[in-house]
């Protein structure tokens, strides 16, 4: 099985536009592909792929303190001890004298350890939800973190694992991952163990800077990299710079997508671009998909 991950240094570079377009191109080419939306902080690939959920599960990770109001005597020890200020004295109407803020609680367990009444326990916490879905383009695993939650690296890892298992069980040889933006923990979880990193970059100084950070990360994991420049005609100078970096850095240059008002229109209508337009943009994306397939074939099994 070959795994391709679509990355960008920041949100709004066109990553999901490219991922959903490649899904449409893969479908038209008869390539069976399973998809993973690993941008779990702001998942939106599923909006483009029109999924029908077949199963969903809660994502449970980490622990949070819980106070038993029957046992709490209000000694205040936990409030004084919590260095995250996650336990406070409740209001007169609160169920317990001590009240835990589940967002602030880090699950360190110190409060449970010092409570003289044994009134505090640590419980597993729901952090989000992940689903398997069927779409017209192929199977999709997608997830969403609950608001305020931070365990996105673990949820990304979970989505990756479920996607690979599902693809394996269906005998599908290709996985396309819509990765999270940036180069943090979630990006590392999305990239590790993949076979090709497709970077979508804009021709701006920050676009060049962010692309180099992803290239660094990919080279750390020794994963081949390809580059698509989105809105390439916005700055000839910066596009030239991206071309130069690709040429000197063994990066597969996969083409340039010009700025087009039709792209945000297709995104607004939730239609993968190639299904609506057969033009230079679609031709660039189709050529990029064929080149990626060629690069993966060169890697062998
Ligand atoms: S340490 Fe225990 S008994 Fe004291 S306020 Fe906290 S929960 Fe209540
Ligand atoms: S588990 Fe740690 S962070 Fe959470 S309330 Fe207790 S002392 Fe504070």
Tens of pLDDT, residues 4-47 = 999 997 777 899 999 999 999 999 998 889 999 998 877 788 88
Query: What is the predicted pLDDT for the residue at 141?
Result: 95
Q: Is the pLDDT of residue 151 over 70?
A: no
Q: In this structure, which residue's CA is closest to atom 2 in ligand 1?
A: 115
Of ligand 1's listed atoms, the one at least distance from the Cα of 67 is 7
Distance of CA 265 to the CA centre of its chain: 23
Ligand 1: distance of its center to the CA of 74 in Å? 5
Which band of pLDDT confidence, cut at 50, 70 and 90, is reported for residue 223? very high
Q: In this structure, which residue's CA is closest to atom 6 in ligand 2?
A: 111
Does residue 115's CB lie within 6 angstroms of at least one atom of ligand 2?
Answer: no
Of ligand 1's listed atoms, the one at least distance from the Cα of 120 is 7
Ligand nearest 115 Cα, by number? 1
Does residue 76's CB lie within 6 angstroms of at least one atom of ligand 1?
Answer: yes
Task: Map out the domains of the chain with their CATH numbers.
Answer: 2-50+136-299 (3.40.50.300), 62-126 (3.30.70.20)
Q: Is the pLDDT of residue 150 over 90?
A: no
Ligand nearest 69 Cα, by number? 1
Query: What is the predicted pLDDT for the residue at 301?
Result: 62
Q: In this structure, which residue's CA is closest to atom 2 in ligand 2?
A: 108
Query: What is the predicted pLDDT for the residue at 102?
Result: 87
Does residue 113's CB lie within 6 angstroms of at least one atom of ligand 2?
Answer: no
Mean pLDDT of 63-87: 94
Does residue 119's CB lie within 6 angstroms of at least one atom of ligand 1?
Answer: yes
Q: In this structure, which residue's CA is closest to atom 6 in ligand 1?
A: 78
């Amino acid at each position: 099985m070959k795994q391709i991950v679509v990355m960008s240094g920041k949100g709004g570079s066109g990553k999901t536009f490219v991922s959903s377009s490649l899904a449409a191109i893969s479908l038209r080419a008869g390539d069976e592909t399973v998809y993973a939306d690993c941008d779990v902080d702001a998942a939106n690939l599923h909006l483009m792929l029109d999924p029908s959920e077949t199963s969903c599960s809660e994502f449970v990770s980490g622990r949070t303190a819980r106070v038993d109001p029957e046992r709490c005597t209000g000694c205040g020890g936990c409030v004084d001890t919590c260095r995250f200020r996650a336990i406070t004295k409740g209001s007169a109407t609160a169920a317990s004298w001590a009240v835990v803020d589940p967002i602030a609680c880090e699950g360190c367990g110190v409060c449970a350890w010092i409570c003289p009444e044994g009134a505090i326990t640590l419980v597993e916490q729901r952090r989000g939800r992940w689903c398997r879905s069927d779409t017209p383009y192929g199977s999709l695993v997608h997830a969403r973190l609950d608001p305020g939650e931070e365990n996105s690296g673990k949820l990304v890892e979970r989505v990756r694992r479920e996607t690979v298992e599902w693809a394996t069980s269906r005998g599908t040889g290709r996985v396309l991952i819509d990765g999270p933006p940036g180069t943090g923990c979630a990006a590392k979880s999305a990239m590790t163990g993949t076979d090709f990193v497709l970077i979508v970059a804009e021709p701006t100084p920050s676009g060049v800077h962010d692309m180099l950070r992803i290239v660094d990360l990919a080279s750390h994991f020794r994963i081949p990299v390809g580059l698509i420049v989105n809105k390439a005609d916005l700055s000839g100078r910066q596009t030239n710079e991206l071309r130069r970096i690709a040429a000197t850095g063994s990066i597969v240059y996969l083409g340039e997508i010009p700025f087009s008002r039709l792209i945000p229109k297709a995104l607004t209508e939730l239609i993968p671009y190639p299904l609506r337009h057969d033009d230079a943009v679609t031709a660039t994306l189709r050529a990029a998909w064929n080149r990626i397939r060629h690069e993966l074939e060169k890697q062998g099994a």
